[in-house]
Structure 1
Amino acid sequence: MLGRAPEEQVYFPPELVPAVSHPLVRELGPEGVRHILVQRLYQYLHFTTELESVAVLPVTLSLSRGQDDLRLAPAMRQDAFKITTDEAWHAQFSHDLMAQVAAETGVPLQLGESSFIRRLEGIRADMEADLRAIQSLVFCIVSETLISAILSDLPQDRRLPRAVRELVRDHSEDEGKHHAYFRSVLSHFWHSLSAGQRRQLGPWLPELVFTFLEPDYRAIAGSLLAAGLTGAQAEAVLAESYPAASVRASVAEASRTTVRYFAEVGALDDPGTLEAFHAAGLTAGLAL
């Protein structure tokens, strides 16, 4: 399905993987860079599988069955069923493609638990008790309304295998519809909360944005080690390729639309919530 790879083919755009431009990685040669790019594709596909399975499907099933207090119209319940089907398929074809790429490239799969799962567990443990039940829905709204450069860039990159481009293109088309749906769900959800719940929940929103968008440093380090770097070298590459300021700027750019949606429903009218967004660097350039 992937086809014979031309010499110029890559499995993930190197421009979206800062680590491969680092001198220590360049010293590994083309094969080392190729190994890291294949691992980055695995990480993206594994993240998609985990996200859909762990974070999205439970929420869309709950919405479709009316297990909430949102008073959604019947048509929105039906749409939630359709999204459940879409997301299950995204998880399946991402999982299947990983196996195909591994068979073609010979690069072994290195799949651990995605960092967002650990971070969500930590957030839930620290949240006020009456917010824990709604954390899953909030994170689903955040993740489904964020704009991913991967979804827009990869389908156009003809250096990638056709199967990868087609998978991401199909995913992007579906996510465009899901984006609009969850923007609507956000309005229903936010206005279903009490004033106290809004004040409590608002300051957690930036952390949920970073949970989705921040690089999975552990997974990246694993790919660097597997490519041949030492532990000290991998730490240096991570620190120099993903400086905090650059990561924050990237997250702010990718989350701009989602932040605007929260502003539109009034979430940022609360001083504590607005300060949390300011402190996270998520309000630069926005008219609030």
Structure 2
Amino acid sequence: MYVERFEEQLLRGDAAERPRGPQYLSRFERWDDLASVRRRPRRRFAAGEVELYFPPELYPVVRHPLVAAKGSTVVKGLLLQRLYDYLEFTTELETLAVIPVATKISRGRSGLHLPGRMMSDAYKIVTDEAWHAQFSHEFTCEIEAETRVPWSLRGSCAPSAFLLRLDEIRGRLPHDLRGVEGLLFGIVSETLISGMLSEIPRDDRLPLSVRNIIRDHAEDEGRHHVYFRSLLTHLWPALGRAEREAVGPLIPEIIYAFLEPDYAQTACHLRDIGLSGEQIDQAITESWPTDRVQSGVAVAAAQLTRYLEEVGALRDKGTLAAFEEAGLLGSAYEMPGGIYTKVAR
């Protein structure tokens, strides 16, 4: 089993037979001086006079009349649970999605012919992401101890929605391409995550410690964004025509896997505050109407869509049709909630 795991590649086949990508320019030359794990102190939660735990604009269900009628204490509690969800999402994203991909890259098991410096930098990404997972977990524990309000989903057997969505996507790939969805999800998540992280630290309604821990994360993710954009320029040209035709139409689903709200998670919280099943469905549906979710995902993913266009991914008719059907080729709206939205006050 262990030798099999060692030999397993994310993209199967002989990497030496695939085309080489462009020149790689590292953004990690000053990693020892800039990485949060090297230079930032461990953030300690201090509630003080807390107005909000999480921006309500990013969790619109708390403004739904059925929820608002429960009172400000309930709303504040739901925003605390949303902060817990966000921290747990970070931990699961790093440990279960990004670190495994970066580890494979660092060990020369990506299936791509990558420059040595690019593989070396992947080790730094593994270190960064492990630190992000660790401080998110420890910060959750500190908040629970300080507020004496536990994360209501602790001990739940339900994984985050993005994991279930990725499993479904993987199951529809040809067997010899399973693994490439991990590379693509790494590219999607690492090029999009800075969108949310750049906004929250500016929201002075939140505890300073919350803003600081997210700011630390954001600074690291800026470097990761550049790295994974470069990875895309190596991945796409290396795929054969049949591989592109099989993988390309699934990219919109990978984008949605990352960006779409976790409705099941929200439903659990609404059940905890006493809403009925019918009320839960109403609150979720009306807080995240399909057209607004679609347009919001399109806005959040616009930069990544441009990167994909630059490498030629949208030249395939099937891929282009999938992007059009998913509404990812342009939108004038922003989604009020989900993973990524600018805070408008």
Shorter-normalised TM range = over 0.9
Of 61, 65, 74 in structure 2, the residue corresponding to residue 32 of structure 1 is 74
Q: Does 1:53 align with 2:53?
A: no
Q: Does 1:278 align with 2:321?
A: no
Q: Does 1:162 align with 2:208?
A: yes
Partner of 2:173: 127
Q: Shift of the alpha carbon at 1:158?
A: 1.2
Q: Distance in 2 between matches of 1:65 and 1:149?
A: 29
Q: Which structure 1 residue ranges, 5 or more long, are not aligned? A: none
Of 127, 130, 136 in structure 2, the residue corresponding to residue 85 of structure 1 is 127
Question: TM (normalized to structure 1)?
Answer: 0.95
Partner of 2:276: 230
Partner of 2:184: 138
Q: Distance in 2 between matches of 1:181 and 1:203?
A: 24
- Is the 2:193–2:221 contact (alpha carbons within 8 Å) kept by the matching residues of 1? no
Of 240, 250, 260 in structure 2, the residue corresponding to residue 194 of structure 1 is 240
Of 63, 72, 92 in structure 1, the residue corresponding to residue 114 of structure 2 is 72
Report the more deviating stretch, 251-260 or 71-80. 71-80
SS of residue matched to 1:158: coil
SS of residue matched to 1:190: helix
Q: Distance in 2 between matches of 1:33 and 1:74?
A: 50
Partner of 1:220: 266
2:196 maps to amino acid: I
Partner of 2:287: 241
Q: Distance in 1 between matches of 2:289 and 2:331?
A: 21
Cα 1:4–1:62 shift into 2, 3 Å: closer
Q: Shift of the alpha carbon at 1:177?
A: 0.3
SS of residue matched to 1:277: helix
Q: Does 1:3 align with 2:46?
A: yes
Q: Does 1:175 align with 2:221?
A: yes
Q: Distance in 1 between matches of 2:100 and 2:130?
A: 11
Deviations 1:121-150 (A, max 9, x none): 111112122221212111111111115542
Q: Does 1:17 align with 2:63?
A: no
Q: Does 1:95 align with 2:95?
A: no
- Is the 1:147–1:257 contact (alpha carbons within 8 Å) kept by the matching residues of 2? no
- Is the 1:148–1:254 contact (alpha carbons within 8 Å) kept by the matching residues of 2? no
Question: TM (normalized to structure 2)?
Answer: 0.80
Partner of 2:7: none
- Is the 2:47–2:146 contact (alpha carbons within 8 Å) kept by the matching residues of 1? no
- Is the 1:72–1:188 contact (alpha carbons within 8 Å) kept by the matching residues of 2? yes
- Is the 1:28–1:228 contact (alpha carbons within 8 Å) kept by the matching residues of 2? no
- Is the 1:155–1:168 contact (alpha carbons within 8 Å) kept by the matching residues of 2? yes
Deviations 1:163-206 (A, max 9, x none): 21111101111111000000101111111111110111100000
Q: Does 1:252 align with 2:298?
A: yes
Deviations 1:51-85 (A, max 9, x none): 10110001101111111332211111111000100
- Is the 1:120–1:211 contact (alpha carbons within 8 Å) kept by the matching residues of 2? yes
Cα 1:163–1:80 shift into 2, 3 Å: same
Partner of 1:203: 249
* Aligned pairs, number: 285
- Is the 1:69–1:192 contact (alpha carbons within 8 Å) kept by the matching residues of 2? no
Q: Distance in 1 between matches of 2:275 and 2:123?
A: 46
